[in-house]
A and B are shown apart, each in its own frame.
Chain A
Amino acid sequence: MYVIVVGGGKVGYFLTRTLIAEGHEVTLIEQDQDRVARLTAEFGEAVVVGDGCEVRVMEDAGMGRADCVVAVTGHDEDNLIVCQMAKRHFGVPRQIARVNNPENEENFHTLGVSETVASTRIIYKLIDQEVETGESLLLTALKRGNIEIVTVDLTPNSPATGKAVKDIHLPGECVLAAIIRDERILLPSGTTELLPGDTVIAVTKPDSQHILKDALVGESSSAVRREG
């Protein structure tokens, strides 16, 4: 795969290094001369000097034959324009943008850049989930974060403890996928009773996560309030 990375900061550097190590062809575009010198020492001719928003620079980098462009500068407007130009002007099939300010993420989607990585939001969510250990932990996010797989540990005081699955009021867009009990995996049915010490694995929409938490372990947490 031929990948063009725009922005040679930390993210751009590690991404380029990883992709090259995996055997992909990569061009890294960076405009700062000092950075370029350091990057060239490691990546050689894979580094192109210039403003990645300039069509001329994009052409020189071979944007026309790229399979994917990844815009990871520290400026959201630049990342958005790179992706839009790559898509419209060069017909690059895939564009991935880093979103520095999570509040801009929705606008990226509105303006036609559907694949976004909002590192601040991801890190904040991870920290938030870590802080709540013992309650609910995000395992992974699917479909651009629209589906989450979470685990919840039940204590003797959890409202769901001692109840059958069918008696727990779960939101529609939430499925209990498995129960881990004493190192064994149980497939829950309606009559399965939840016990203290159970780890429940659920698939849920992010919006439903707080209802799920309320139903299983009580009181929704600060993380979820900020979600709304």
Chain B
Amino acid sequence: MRVVILGCGRVGSTLAAILTREGHQVCVIDRDQSAFDKAAQRLGPSFTQDTVRGVGIDEDVLRQAGIEEADAFISVTSGDNTNLVAAQIAQQRFQVPKVLARVYDPIRAEAYREAGVETICTTTISTGLFHDLVLNRPIRSTQEYIDTTVTQPESSES
């Protein structure tokens, strides 16, 4: 499988390392060279076959990373909006079959999931996990956490 990963943070680089070890062809994009250096220190220099430095919503950068032949595109930068825009470009412009975006904001994650972008809201998932653990309840499946309806926080006055 050819996979393009946008964002060489902890998730992006670790995922790249796992996929690479499994024999997939991976290219990681980040705008910051030091992100690649740090990942190489943590995971060894062969955590990915290929890296491209650049902005992930730039089509030339995406092409250079091989998005035209990619089977999957995973957007895991620290910016929700960057992830959402890059995912939509991968999906609509390059017709990448599998596109995933991490989104911290539960509302945006839900809104874009409804609009056809597969979003993973790590806030909802980890909040649900902590919630169950702190109350000594059994842990549920990831899907259940994802499906948890987002509750708007009550305003401080109430």
Chain A interface (Cβ < 8 Å from any Cβ of B): 53-56, 75-78, 80-81, 84-85, 88-89, 101, 103-104, 107, 110-111
| Least CB separation from B152: chain A residue | A56
| Least CB separation from B82: chain A residue | A77
Q: Does chain A have a CB within 8 A of B13?
A: no
Smallest beta-carbon distance A222→chain B, Å:
22
Interface size class of B (residues with CB under 8 A): 20 to 34
Smallest beta-carbon distance B63→chain A, Å:
12
Does B108 contact A85, Cβ atoms closer than 8 Å? yes
Smallest beta-carbon distance B32→chain A, Å:
16
Q: Bound complex: CA of A24 vs CA of B131, how far in Å?
A: 47
Does B84 contact A110, Cβ atoms closer than 8 Å? no
Q: Does chain A have a CB within 8 A of B35?
A: no
- Pick from B85, B89, B92, B152: contact of A81, CB under 8 Å: B85
Does A103 contact B115, Cβ atoms closer than 8 Å? no
Q: Are A81 and B81 also in contact (CB < 8 A) when A54-B105, A110-B93, A111-B88 are?
A: yes
Give the secondary structure class of B's interface.
helix
Task: Give B102-130 interface residues, CB cut-off 8 Å to A.
Answer: 105, 107-108, 111, 115
Count of A-B residue pairs with CB < 8 Å: 52
Chain B interface (Cβ < 8 Å from any Cβ of A): 57-60, 79-82, 84-85, 88-89, 92-93, 105, 107-108, 111, 115, 152
> Could you list 10 A-B pairs, sorted by A, with CB under 8 Å?
A76-B57, A77-B79, A80-B81, A85-B111, A88-B115, A89-B111, A103-B59, A107-B57, A111-B85, A111-B89
Does B81 contact A75, Cβ atoms closer than 8 Å? yes
Smallest beta-carbon distance A89→chain B, Å:
6
Q: Bound complex: CA of A80 vs CA of B85, how far in Å?
A: 8
Cβ–Cβ < 8 Å partners of A104 in chain B: 57-58
